[in-house]
Amino acid sequence: MKSAVARWLEFAEIDLKAASTLMKEGGLSSVVCFHAQQCVEKSLKAMIESKGINPPKSHDLIMLYGHIDEMVKLEEDALAKMNQVYIDARYPASLGALPEGLPDDDDAADFYEFANEVLGQVKAVLK
């Protein structure tokens, strides 16, 4: 495995661990969702890097997934929902809001599980 691919995976694992740790703390759902999104983003970038392509400097999970959708099958609706939390979290007016409001503990758990699944699939393909 190329060292750049391994580094992307290492950073994805750190974000997943951060999400897990923050979930135990409670009351930090939007931050858990942020780290889950980062885990997915870095996992996708690892796959893009494995194809010999420099990953785009973008946080758009749907666009990143388009580079590797032949390698792994992911739920695009879940990717789109994660985009909303990450992109909206960058701007104070929305503070990581979903259309129905700020993410709650159930959203955080869903995002964490999805991120864990994505990282697992990516690692299985790349190793």
Q: pLDDT of 38-55, one tens digit each? A: 999 999 999 999 999 999
pLDDT in tens, 61-101: 999 999 999 999 999 999 999 998 876 555 555 555 566 67
Sign of the Cα torsion 100, 103, 106, 110 reads: positive
Output the six-digit token pair for 103: 């993410």
pLDDT in tens, 3-49: 999 999 999 999 999 999 999 988 888 889 999 999 999 999 999 99
pLDDT of residue 102: 78
Q: What total number of domains does the chain contain?
A: 1
Domain hosting 115: range is 3-126
Question: Where is pLDDT greater, at 80 or 102?
Answer: 80
- The CATH number of the domain holding residue 31 is 1.20.120.330
Give the list of residues 6+ apart from residue 127 with CB closer than 8 angstroms, or none. 1
pLDDT of residue 66: 97
pTM (2 d.p.): 0.91
pLDDT exceeds 60 at position 59: yes
pLDDT exceeds 80 at position 104: yes
pLDDT of residue 30: 86
Q: Is 114 helix (H, G, I), strand (E, B) or coil?
A: helix
Q: If 0-12 CB within 10 Å is exposed, 13-18 middle and 19+ buried, where does residue 36 land?
A: buried
**Residue 57, Cα to own-chain centre: how many angstroms?**
14
